[in-house]
Chain A
Amino acid sequence: EPEVTQTPSHQVTQMGQEVILRCVPISNHLYFYWYRQILGQKVEFLVSFYNNEISEKSEIFDDQFSVERPDGSNFTLKIRSTKLEDSAMYFCASSEDWVGQGVSPLHFGNGTRLTVT
């Protein structure tokens, strides 16, 4: 069964450094998302992406964050200048169709654990 893959599985970075988290969504999916989860707590929405542009973002997703689909397969999340509080598990997800259709669930990758020291 096709799956969402994320790399790396664990990233350690120093405060102030830029990080890029990578995701390969399922190939025929059109909608892409980033979520994060701090230490087994609530899963928080960051951003959704469709048709090569951000369709919705949360208040967490400030100008330190950006997303890109640089080619036909990858979907990346960049954090420009990491802070200690950015330490979390970051999950990429994709869906075949608009989630509001009530047909297409989100398919999640296994996440990238980001540790900012």
Chain B
Amino acid sequence: SQQGEEDPQALSIQEGENATMNCSYKTSINNLQWYRQNSGRGLVHLILIRSNEREKHSGRLRVTLDTSKKSSSLLITASRAADTASYFCATLRMDSSYKLIFGSGTRLLVRP
């Protein structure tokens, strides 16, 4: 079964605007992570939130987690053209020890 589906699939905003991406998942999780992927490159870890946490910040990034709704959001404030990339959420299910499952990603385009 799929775990970790991002919404929207694609997002285009103007530089300086905020970007919000959402992730929904199906089963109970241990933790949820957000990664970024520039075109043709590997994934880079952005932020990790544990199942007992509700919100986390890192620089211009803010992640929320709602375990009752099985959803998370990633907010990038004051976006820059360099934020253009694909963003993936990844979940570690409670019934799995090692398998971090990635969603389909949101393609973010920040227009200068």
* Bitwise interface map of A from 87 to 106 toward B, beta carbon under 8 Å scored 1, else 0: 00001010000111011011
Q: How far is the CA of A35 from the CA of B100 in the complex (A)?
A: 10
Closest Cβ neighbor of A55 among chain B residues: B98
Interface locus among A37-45, A65-73, A78-86:
A37-45
Q: How far is the CA of A14 from the CA of B43 in the complex (A)?
A: 28
Q: How far is the CA of A59 from the CA of B38 in the complex (A)?
A: 28
Closest Cβ neighbor of B45 among chain A residues: A105
Q: How far is the CA of A58 from the CA of B99 in the complex (A)?
A: 8
Of A50, A103, A109, A110, the contact of B98 (CB 8 Å cutoff): A50
Minimum C-beta distance from A109 to chain B (A): 5
Of B45, B48, B50, B102, the contact of A43 (CB 8 Å cutoff): B102
Q: Is there an interface contact between B88 and A43, defined as CB atoms closer than 8 Å?
A: yes
Minimum C-beta distance from B26 to chain A (A): 15
Minimum C-beta distance from B45 to chain A (A): 4
**Number of A-B residue pairs at CB separation under 8 A:** 71
Q: How far is the CA of A107 from the CA of B88 in the complex (A)?
A: 14
Minimum C-beta distance from B93 to chain A (A): 10
With A48-B98, A98-B98, A102-B50: A110-B103 Cβ-Cβ less than 8 Å: no
Q: Is there an interface contact between B104 and A4, defined as CB atoms closer than 8 Å?
A: no
| Chain A residues whose C-beta falls within 8 Å of the C-beta of B101 in the assembled complex | 45
With A91-B42, A102-B31: A56-B96 Cβ-Cβ less than 8 Å: yes
Closest Cβ neighbor of B41 among chain A residues: A110
Minimum C-beta distance from A18 to chain B (A): 24
Q: Is B106 an interface residue (CB 8 A)?
A: no
Q: Is there an interface contact between B42 and A110, defined as CB atoms closer than 8 Å?
A: yes
Enumerate chain B interface residues (CB-CB to A < 8 A): 30-31, 33, 35, 40-45, 48, 50, 86, 88, 90, 92, 96-105
Enumerate chain A interface residues (CB-CB to B < 8 A): 4, 31, 33, 35, 40-45, 48, 50, 55-56, 58, 91, 93, 98-100, 102-103, 105-111
Cross-chain pairs A/B with CB under 8 angstroms, 7 sampled: A43-B88, A45-B99, A56-B96, A98-B98, A108-B44, A110-B41, A111-B41
